[in-house]
């Protein structure tokens, strides 16, 4: 009986802890209208750095909400911007349909509106806003960095690189990338070419290609059987360390 009670207490404690930073769906201004998103807040008073989270082709799935919550637990005001108007794909066909229906300019406008919303919050350090995205989200995260000079740090997980040199030159953010050695989109060759272009443009860049990893290797819920837990853990550690350096430490208010 005591053992059963103890087990229930432990389960409850884990449940409470896992939901401690659980976020909520919100709306924020976008032009003359609004856009949706999932907002998770860190513990503690004062101001915090912030991160725009860009979802995969599935939409704002439970996994994306979990990553957003995880960023909040690390001390960031994290906002996953909804690019699908509330839709979440249940299969590959739906995901392809939703992604194909996106207009790049409108998606970037939604992400920039999310970044502006974060910068307007009293609990956010406006000069310390970054972005992270997976798959389709990686593509849009780097494009947000090119479109918004206020983005200080960008993390790409296997997203389509930018090939326009003019757009690359517009990036002000430091860039971290986590890619799969067996991925076809982007391929290692495309990743290396993008890294070279970034360096030639004088950008700060740190790319890592994981040997034997395919597309979506960081997502434990992906249906393709490509999840690599050790690589996913390493990529998340790189992401955390990168944001800590570029957003937290770089924006700590100086004492007088």
- Taking Cα atoms as reference points, which of 206, 211, 212 lies closest to residue 194? 206
Residue 20 near residue 42 (C-beta atoms within 8 A): no
Is residue 160 within 8 A of residue 138, CB to CB? The reply is yes
Higher model confidence: residue 8 or residue 215? 215
The Cα–Cα gap between 235 and 154 comes to 14
Q: Is the dihedral of CA 125, 127, 133, 136 positive or negative?
A: positive
Q: What is the DSSP letter of 192?
A: H
pLDDT of residue 252: 64
Q: Determine the pLDDT at residue 251.
A: 66
CA distance 78 to 25: 12
How many Cβ atoms are within 10 Å of 127's Cβ, its own excluded?
12
Give the closest residue to 151 by CA, choosing from 112, 98, 188, 178. Answer: 112
CATH class, 28-251 region: alpha beta
**Residue 132 to residue 155: CA distance in whole angstroms:** 5
Whole-number Cα distances in Å, 56 to 97, 220, 254:
13, 13, 37
pLDDT for 83-117, tens place per residue? Answer: 999 999 999 999 999 999 999 999 999 999 999 99
Domain ranges of the chain: 28-251
Closest CA relative to residue 60, chosen from 82, 91, 92? 82
pTM: 0.90
Are residues 134 and 160 in contact, defined by beta-carbon separation less than 8 angstroms?
no
pLDDT digits (tens, 9 = 90+) for 18-65: 444 489 999 999 999 999 999 999 999 999 999 999 999 999 999 999
Residue pair 23/41 in contact by the 8 Å Cβ criterion: yes
Mean pLDDT of the region 161-166: 97
Give CA separation, 69 vs 49, 89, 192, 253, in Å: 14, 21, 31, 25
Q: Provide long-range contacts, Cβ within 8 A and 24+ apart, for 189-197.
A: 190/161, 191/161, 193/161, 194/161, 194/162, 194/163, 197/163, 197/165, 197/168
Res 253 pLDDT > 70: no
Percent of the residues in the chain that have a pLDDT greater than 70, as a whole number: 89
Q: Is residue 62 exposed (0-12), middle (13-18) or buried (19+ Cβ within 10 Å)?
A: exposed
The distance of Cα 118 from the centroid of its chain, to the nearest Å, equals 14
CA distances from 3 to 6, 7, 9, 12, 194 (A): 5, 6, 10, 14, 56
| Band of pLDDT at residue 7, cut at 50, 70 and 90 | very low
């Amino acid at each position: 009986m005591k053992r059963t009670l103890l087990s229930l207490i432990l389960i409850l404690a884990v449940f409470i802890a896992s939901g401690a930073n659980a976020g909520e769906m919100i709306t924020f201004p976008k032009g003359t209208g609004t856009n949706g998103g999932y907002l998770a807040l860190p513990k503690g008073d004062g101001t915090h750095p912030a991160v725009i989270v860009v979802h995969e082709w599935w939409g704002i799935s439970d996994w994306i909400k979990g990553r957003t919550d995880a960023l909040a637990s690390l001390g960031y005001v994290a906002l996953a911007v909804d690019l699908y108007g509330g839709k979440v794909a249940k299969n590959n066909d739906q995901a392809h349909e939703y992604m194909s229906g996106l207009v790049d300019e409108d998606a970037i406008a939604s992400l920039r509106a999310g970044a502006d919303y974060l910068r307007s919050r009293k609990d956010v350090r406006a000069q310390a806003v970054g972005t992270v995205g997976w798959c389709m989200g990686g593509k849009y995260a780097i494009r947000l960095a090119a479109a918004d000079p206020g983005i200080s740090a960008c993390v790409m997980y296997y997203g389509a690189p930018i090939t326009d040199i003019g757009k690359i030159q517009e990036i002000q953010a430091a860039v971290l990338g986590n890619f799969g050695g067996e991925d076809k989109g982007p391929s290692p060759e495309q990743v290396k070419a993008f890294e070279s272009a970034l360096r030639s443009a004088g950008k700060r860049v740190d790319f890592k290609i994981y040997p034997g990893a395919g597309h979506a290797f960081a997502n434990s819920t992906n249906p393709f059987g490509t999840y690599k837990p050790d690589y996913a853990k390493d990529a998340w550690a790189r992401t955390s360390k990168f944001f800590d350096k570029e957003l937290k430490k770089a924006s700590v208010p100086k004492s007088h």
